[in-house]
Amino acid sequence: MSSLKSFIKSVRAAKTMADERAVIQKESAAIRTSFREDFTDTHMRRQNIAKLLYLFTLGERTHFGQIECLKLLATSKFSDKRLGYLGTMLLLDENQEVLTLVTNSLKNDLNHPNQYVVGLALCTLGNIASQEMARDLFTDVEKLVVTQNPYLRKKAALCAMRIIRKVPELQERFVDKAKSLLGDHHHGVLICGMTLVYDLCLEDANLIPQFRQFIPSLIRQLKSLTTSGYAPEHDVAGVSDPFLQVKILRLLRVLGRGDQSATEQMNDILAQIATNTDSSKNVGNSILYEAVLTILDIDADSGLRVLGINILGRFLGNKDNNVKYVGLNTLSKVVELEPNAVQRHRNTILECLHDADISIRRRALDLSFDLINDQNVRVLVRELLVFLESADTEFKANMTVQICIAADKYAPNKRWHIDTVLRVLKLAGNYVSEQIISQFIALVSNTTSMHLYTVQKLYSLLRSDITQEGLTLAGTWVIGEYGDELLKAGAFEDEETMLDVKEADVVQIFDSILHSTYATQTVQEYVLDALAKLSTRMSDPGQIERIRRLISSQTTALDVEIQQRAVEYAALFGHDDIRRGVLEKMPAAVIREDRKLQPEKKAAVKGGVPKPQPKSETDILLDLMSGDEDAAAPSSRVSPANGDLLAMALGGGGALPSVPTRATNGKTNGNPSDLLADVFGGGSVSAATSPSQQANGQQTITDILGLFSTPSPSAPSPPVPVPAPAPVVDAPASGQTYPAYTAYDQNGLSLTLQPIRDATTPAGVVNIVASFANTGPDALDHITFQVAVPKTQQVELRPISKPDLAPGETASQAVRVTASVGAQVRLRLRVSFGRNGHDVVDQMVFNQFPADLLAS
């Protein structure tokens, strides 16, 4: 067996990790063997335990040495005991079962005549006492808390703290003894006593009042520490016992909280510390910091609170990053309590945005957003925009959201609001979320007076930079939508340069975007929409032809969504008479409060989770009908009445060219483009009967609806299922029995619709039972079934009886349609459900009900 020293040396001498492991394992094995064999040799045992502790420090397994270590405790030799206790504290913790074996040794040693042995026992107890040990030994500790020996008193005080943490009901045994410690003359005892009292107060707030009587003496102690001058024993860089000062301030905080008279007693000394403590070194700042926390936590008078905030403000100007960090951290905590006082340090906070330490920058940024209000929004947002340009990449996404929220909340006028978002798009267009873009579009579409300004700005921005996706998307949409205003106004001046606006220039921009490397899928989709719209807003046949060619070039795009759009728009060129109507301007978007931007990251930082907004049933339906669009994307959502649903469905479809669709949508079935396809499936018929020029989009929609009242609409694209023979349905005896019509039978789901009318049914009303059956081998979940009717009719839906169907199961849902007598019932159906983890969404037109269904 080698000595400890040579063992350490050989571990250090190991050249590779493998060598080191080998040395350690060899020694570890030797120690085990030695434990088994030489159970009498105490010298050997000492050496082994010492090595074991080295192994522990290295992070090796040491559990096999626990018992040997405890054997050392029982010896009478001090050095053995010392090593034994050291080992016990390191190798054991409160959760080890063998700890019960220590209790007896501790009990003996706590009553040992030698104070050093008692000290060791107290130290062990304080560090690893378990609940049982606390119960078994508290009486011994109780005695030691008031012993003559200050060295044992302080250790006993901390042991007492540990004991009451483990067994709170023992508190009262220590309350009076703790009081005696508060007047102690020995600094170590005082510190430990304060810790004990502080802990007692935290554990049980009912104890606080009885400690309030010590406030004057605590204040006296604090005063003597701050005015006594140089005291070599506890001096730290010219400050007298900063640790004790911090402890006293902390205890005062607990005692003064929520108590007016206690607070009044403290005001003076807190003011004194806040003004007189030397803030040039860390040690002074640690006291200032504690004092500020106390000032802000108790109901100190307002002057003092402002002084406290000002100290934190000064922290921000400190050269030491630690002090800055603490200052920013604390200011963020108090900004809501003392907004005005914190505002005064705005400039210093903004300077911290440019600090070299990223954690300082992050905190300064969070705090800056907290500071924004309607008075300073211009200044702060300007600063933040400057910072945005150079900000760390990881900040940008959150910053764009936060700036847009601030702009939305506090914008002094629309022009400023639009300018701000434009700056964000320009500076960080690659980091903005889709939501910001849709909010911006909604904002623009609602601000008629700014259309020309916005479109010109975006035109100018896009001419110089197409690398920022967010900017490109917003610009594409706005130029597509308001291109006519841009063209009508002609050349304009932007930032002292004249910009020509010719139709060719506008098309050229889109041409270059489409063929650039920055054209993501979403960008391409937006560009196609914009081009289609522009084809009705331009007059030069050459340019219109160029647009047609551009669109046609995408009909072979690899992405199905882009291809579909291109094909549909290209087809639209064949129907000049309706194209103009279809591509009319969008109605102004409705900005819904519940869909406003949420500060995501910020909420997470503050420990809250942004609550998902509850959606009403109607909302969900509307959302679905407009093709999963974001609320802000313009589509006509004027009235939630069910009767308007079809109008809306078609509004979504008819207005599609102007509706940007989410790139990540993926659910092609759910896209409004299908609706469009359907409309154009029968387009020629309806077009022939409708005037091609309409004043606004809403009317166009109504006219397209003419499709439904034309006597013989051409078949919409989904194949029309043949009416199935009626299964037996228990229709009311007095009523007329109709067969059940199969409306859908795909993907394992069969859906039949059976109209029911009886004597009690009012005229013009039909009840329809929709029956769902799972005909496939897979379970279907979250079945939702929606029905839309033409504008002149109304529909009412009951909830489905069972939204999740196992194979073979059935469910039903009641539908009620109200129309005028004699009207033909035509339904647009939408079914969605989950199957094998995939979402299936299907839409179809259903018009197989007998024409005379509502005849009477």
Partner 1 sequence: MTNRHSAIACISRMLQFILVQNRQGKTRLAKYYTPYDDEEKVKLKGEVHRLVAPRDQKYQSNFVEFRNFKIVYRRYAGLFFCVCVDSNDNELAYLEAIHFFVEVLDTFFGNVCELDLVFNFYKVYAILDEVFLAGEIEETSKDVVLHRLEFLDRLE
154 versus 346: smaller Cβ distance to partner 1: 154
Residue 672 near residue 560, CB atoms below 8 Å: no
Best CA proximity match to 85, nearest among 138, 139, 155: 155
Residue 827 near residue 845, CB atoms below 8 Å: yes
324 versus 426: smaller Cβ distance to partner 1: 324
Tell me the closest approach of the beta carbon of residue 236 to partner 1, in angstroms: 6
Tell me the closest approach of the beta carbon of residue 427 to partner 1, in angstroms: 25
204 versus 505: smaller Cβ distance to partner 1: 204
* Binding residue for partner 1, selected from 152, 161, 570, 572, defined by CB under 8 A: 161
- If DSSP states are collapsed to H, E and C, what string results for 785-800? EEEECCCCCEEEECCC
66 versus 700: smaller Cβ distance to partner 1: 66
Whole-number Å distance between alpha carbons of 793 and 690 = 21
Contact string (CB under 8 A) for partner 1, positions 177-206, x = contact: ----------xx--xx--x--xx--x----
Tell me the closest approach of the beta carbon of residue 297 to partner 1, in angstroms: 11
The site that binds partner 1 (CB under 8 A) totals a number of residues, namely 71
284 versus 475: smaller Cβ distance to partner 1: 284
Tell me the closest approach of the beta carbon of residue 84 to partner 1, in angstroms: 12
Beta bridge partners of 94: none
Give the three-state DSSP class for 12.
helix
* Binding residue for partner 1, selected from 104, 217, 280, 359, defined by CB under 8 A: 359
Instruction: Read off φ and ψ for residue 640, nearest 5 degrees.
Output: -85, 5
Best CA proximity match to 66, nearest among 95, 43, 96, 30: 96
Tell me the closest approach of the beta carbon of residue 3 to partner 1, in angstroms: 11
161 versus 342: smaller Cβ distance to partner 1: 161
Contact string (CB under 8 A) for partner 1, positions 109-128, x = contact: -------x-----xx--xx-
124 versus 848: smaller Cβ distance to partner 1: 124
Whole-number Å distance between alpha carbons of 715 and 707 = 11
Residue 360 near residue 321, CB atoms below 8 Å: yes
Whole-number Å distance between alpha carbons of 717 and 680 = 9
Contact string (CB under 8 A) for partner 1, positions 287-326, x = contact: --xx--x---------------------------xxxxxx
Residue 326 near residue 360, CB atoms below 8 Å: no
Does 241 engage in binding with partner 1 (CB under 8 A)? yes
Does 746 engage in binding with partner 1 (CB under 8 A)? no
Per CB under 8 A, contacts with partner 1 among 377-436 are: none
Contacts of 369 (CB under 8 A, 6+ apart): 384, 402, 406, 599, 602
Best CA proximity match to 576, nearest among 531, 530, 535, 529: 535
* Binding residue for partner 1, selected from 159, 501, 632, 648, defined by CB under 8 A: 159
Tell me the closest approach of the beta carbon of residue 182 to partner 1, in angstroms: 16
191 versus 831: smaller Cβ distance to partner 1: 191
Best CA proximity match to 616, nearest among 592, 581, 598: 592
- The amino acid sitting at 516 is S
Residue 353 near residue 361, CB atoms below 8 Å: yes
Instruction: Read off φ and ψ for residue 813, nearest 5 degrees.
Output: -145, 135
Per CB under 8 A, contacts with partner 1 among 526-545 are: none
352 versus 557: smaller Cβ distance to partner 1: 352
Burial class (CB in 10 A: 0-12, 13-18, 19+), 665: middle
Give the H/E segment covering residue 27.
helix 17-37
Burial class (CB in 10 A: 0-12, 13-18, 19+), 452: middle
Task: Show the CA angle centred on residue 154, arms to residues 150 and 159, nearest 5°.
Answer: 140
Tell me the closest approach of the beta carbon of residue 336 to partner 1, in angstroms: 16
Does 246 engage in binding with partner 1 (CB under 8 A)? yes
* Binding residue for partner 1, selected from 174, 243, 453, 741, defined by CB under 8 A: 243
Per CB under 8 A, contacts with partner 1 among 333-352 are: none
Q: Which stretch binds partner 1 (CB under 8 A): 150-158, 649-657, 669-677, 706-714?
A: 150-158
Per CB under 8 A, contacts with partner 1 among 71-110 are: 78-79, 82-83, 86, 89-90, 93-95
Whole-number Å distance between alpha carbons of 60 and 24 = 9
Per CB under 8 A, contacts with partner 1 among 2-21 are: 5, 8, 12
* Binding residue for partner 1, selected from 2, 104, 131, 280, defined by CB under 8 A: 131
Whole-number Å distance between alpha carbons of 673 and 576 = 19
Does 162 engage in binding with partner 1 (CB under 8 A)? yes
Q: Which stretch binds partner 1 (CB under 8 A): 49-57, 406-414, 451-459, 653-661?
A: 49-57
Residue carrying structure tokens 């942004």: 610
* Binding residue for partner 1, selected from 102, 208, 283, 385, defined by CB under 8 A: 283
Contacts of 244 (CB under 8 A, 6+ apart): 187, 190, 191, 194, 221, 225, 234
Residue 646 near residue 828, CB atoms below 8 Å: yes
283 versus 583: smaller Cβ distance to partner 1: 283
Neighbours of 7 (CB within 10 A): 22
Does 244 engage in binding with partner 1 (CB under 8 A)? yes
Whole-number Å distance between alpha carbons of 556 and 564 = 9
Contacts of 502 (CB under 8 A, 6+ apart): none
Q: Which stretch binds partner 1 (CB under 8 A): 50-58, 137-145, 498-506, 795-803?
A: 50-58
Q: Is the dihedral of CA 404, 408, 410, 413 positive or negative?
A: positive
Tell me the closest approach of the beta carbon of residue 627 to partner 1, in angstroms: 43
* Binding residue for partner 1, selected from 18, 356, 609, 695, defined by CB under 8 A: 356
155 versus 451: smaller Cβ distance to partner 1: 155
Residue 627 near residue 616, CB atoms below 8 Å: no
Beta bridge partners of 753: 741, 770
Tell me the closest approach of the beta carbon of residue 57 to partner 1, in angstroms: 6
Tell me the closest approach of the beta carbon of residue 435 to partner 1, in angstroms: 29
290 versus 529: smaller Cβ distance to partner 1: 290
90 versus 726: smaller Cβ distance to partner 1: 90
Best CA proximity match to 102, nearest among 66, 76, 143, 50: 66
Does 438 engage in binding with partner 1 (CB under 8 A)? no
Per CB under 8 A, contacts with partner 1 among 629-668 are: none
Does 54 engage in binding with partner 1 (CB under 8 A)? yes
159 versus 566: smaller Cβ distance to partner 1: 159
Best CA proximity match to 824, nearest among 790, 787, 796, 797: 790
Q: Which stretch binds partner 1 (CB under 8 A): 157-165, 335-343, 504-512, 749-757?
A: 157-165
Beta bridge partners of 757: 736
74 versus 560: smaller Cβ distance to partner 1: 74
Q: Which stretch binds partner 1 (CB under 8 A): 239-247, 453-461, 494-502, 724-732?
A: 239-247
291 versus 783: smaller Cβ distance to partner 1: 291
151 versus 492: smaller Cβ distance to partner 1: 151
* Tokens linked to 803: 């939204």
Helix axes 645-654, 672-681, angle to 10 degrees: 90
Give the H/E segment covering residue 839.
strand 838-846
298 versus 687: smaller Cβ distance to partner 1: 298
